[in-house]
Amino acid sequence: MNATGTLSRATQIVYRVGSRHSSEVDTLTLDPDGRATWTSQGRYCEVQLPPEVYGDILGRLAQYGFKAATGLHGDAMADYQHEIEVLEGPKKKSRCTLRLGHEFGTYLGDAPIGMKEVVALLDRVASRVESGADLSESPDALMSALLRNLDFPYVNPHGEPGAFQLIDPRGQVLAASSLRFALPHASGLLPFRDGDRFGFARATGEVVIAPAYALTLGFSEGLAAVKLEGGWGFIDVRGELVIPARFAAAASFADGLACVQLGDQTGYCDRAGVFVPAPPQASQLGRFAEGRAPFRALSRIGVPAWGYIDRAGQVVVPAGFDYAGEFCEGLACVQQDDLFGFIDVGGAWAIEPRFTDAGDFHEDLAAVGDSGQYGYCDKSGTAAVDFRFLRAGNFAEGLAPVGVGAKTGFIDREGRMVIEPRFDLAQSFSEGLAAVRIDHKWGFIDRAGRIVIEPIYEGAGPFGDGVACVRKFADPRPVIHTGSKKVIINMGKKT
């Protein structure tokens, strides 16, 4: 990437890191020809990087408004101070100083957009130079390694985010987009707001249930939680109140039950409105799936942990897990002692905890991680797809999104790459389409990898019930001419 704009004349990048507990400063210096030097406490290292590395870093600094980021940012009492200096020729330089704390490998404190990611990239370059690592690999391979798991944020040149819209599988904007709608779109109905009341409309814009509710969570399993003067109740798709508004709080239905609060008791109600109290020791409740719901309580050794209850509110798996997911295809993902495994509905181990990360089962396969690499296992715990990806999503319609380097593609159940990794990010398929991000713009592809809805959106959700919610980019701000030969784009007040 070639740097453009204000930094196009840059002749050197200097990156310094110093601890507030020491006067020692480590310095990385990058030159346009790829020469990189590292000095630290009397040590000196020099290597030759591909010039593309210099261009990429410079381009990112220009993209994130490096000159506008001068000054101190973040926690003034942080452990380390990161200073980035760009020289643009004799006696010309820009500087950005970031005071950021380090804790568990993350940066604390606020910083200008993109700067934390730039610092992380420079740290990786410095580490390679200091260690004398072999840098003879191709520029693409080296940049892929340096950028691994770094998702540089998109800078919206238009300022504020744009409006949400609803589209159909052809990308056509639906009439309901003109309403103040909310999600989800389920049972063919969409919540919308008119004044201070909520009602329901079809995607065509036709109002089916007049606005009469203070709040709603939308439809789920044919019923919608709505708030009336007396509390929360549930209506059907005709707008009839089928469960009286007698609850102090309510959630959506899942697996035939909805989490509710009746007086000072928390529990669940069924579709007939019958209330089932939760165990008295439960401090937090999850949704039901396949006859089980996770709950949080103190374990037998007195620490917060997760277990499972049945439809009668009885504990069937005692609280003993650090994390407990919902049951999916007969198994639930749980965490114990920092490792993930899977249990059956009786609480017995189906797959012993041995993964550093794991997702739910979908189409008989679950994405699992081992020390930063991801693959898929079957319900016996056997590896069905080797650990060779940087990211792994859920299988849907026979395909799953996986990360290879900085890009994402799709594999089939045998692990074969059927849609080449050319997307920034990608979601799982739903109703024959998958949302993908290309150059920070979202669109949709079909199962052959063809773009069927152009990537023109700032954000996009999956298709469901024939509808997807997308977010437009905001309209460009007007260009203001001052009368001079310079054209100034009005991007808001200077800080």
pLDDT tens string 60-115: 888 777 776 677 777 766 777 888 888 877 667 777 777 777 665 567 777 777 88
| Mean pLDDT computed over 127-133 | 82
Helix (H) or strand (E) holding 53: helix 51-63
Which residues have a Cβ under 8 Å from the Cβ of 359 and sit 6 or more positions away?
Answer: 333, 366, 367, 368, 392, 393, 394
Q: Which of residues 66 and 381 earns the better pLDDT score?
A: 381
pLDDT at 275 over 60: yes
Question: Residues 436, 154: contact at Cβ < 8 Å?
Answer: no
**Tell me, what's the pLDDT at 116?**
85
| Mean pLDDT computed over 438-461 | 94
Count CB neighbours of 85 within 10 A.
16
For the chain, give every residue range classified as CATH 3.30.1560: 5-146
| Mean pLDDT computed over 1-8 | 49
pLDDT tens string 204-262: 999 999 999 999 999 999 999 999 998 999 999 999 999 999 999 999 999 999 999 99
For the chain, give every residue range classified as CATH 2.40.128.630: 175-277
Q: Which of 84-98, 164-178, 369-383 has the lowest mean pLDDT?
A: 84-98
Q: Which of 44-53, 352-361, 481-490 has the lowest mean pLDDT?
A: 481-490
Query: What is the percentage of the chain residues whose pLDDT exceeds 70?
Result: 90
pLDDT band at 478 (very low <50, low <70, confident <90, very high): low
Question: Residues 482, 488: contact at Cβ < 8 Å?
Answer: yes
Bridge partners (DSSP) listed for residue 401 = 410
Question: Residues 162, 472: contact at Cβ < 8 Å?
Answer: yes
Q: In what order do the strands lie in the sheet with 349-355?
A: 323-324, 332-336, 339-343, 349-355
Q: Using CA atoms in the order 113, 119, 120, 123, what is the torsion angle rounded to 10 degrees?
A: 180
Q: Which of 101-115, 267-281, 355-369, 471-485 has the lowest mean pLDDT?
A: 471-485
**Tell me, what's the pLDDT at 1?**
34
| Mean pLDDT computed over 393-407 | 94
Question: Residues 376, 365: contact at Cβ < 8 Å?
Answer: yes
> What are the tokens at 192?
């919308």
Q: How far apart are CA 409 and CA 418, in angstroms?
A: 8
> What are the tokens at 22?
């020491």
CA 413 distance to own-chain centroid: 24
Q: Which of residues 151 and 313 earns the better pLDDT score?
A: 313
Closest CA to 490 of 150, 158, 103, 76: 158
Per-residue CA distances from 276 to 31, 207, 226 (Å): 69, 35, 20
Architecture (CATH level 2) of domain 175-277: Beta Barrel (2.40)
**Tell me, what's the pLDDT at 492?**
42
CATH of domain 5-146: 3.30.1560
pLDDT at 21 over 90: no
Is the preceding omega at residue 184 within 30 degrees of 0, hence cis? yes
Query: What is the percentage of the chain residues whose pLDDT exceeds 90?
Result: 61
Q: How far apart are CA 481 and CA 363, in angstroms?
A: 58
pLDDT at 281 over 90: yes
Per-residue CA distances from 373 to 276, 367, 395, 419, 428 (Å): 43, 10, 17, 20, 19
| Mean pLDDT computed over 156-184 | 88
Q: Which of residues 170 and 19 earns the better pLDDT score?
A: 170
Kindly state the DSSP code that residue 472 receives in the 8-state scheme. P
pLDDT band at 5 (very low <50, low <70, confident <90, very high): very low
pLDDT at 382 over 50: yes
User: Model's pTM, two decimal places?
Assistant: 0.72
Closest CA to 113 of 61, 76, 160, 162: 61
**Tell me, what's the pLDDT at 206?**
96
Q: Which of 137-141, 193-197, 358-362, 399-403 has the lowest mean pLDDT?
A: 137-141
> What are the tokens at 131?
């260690």
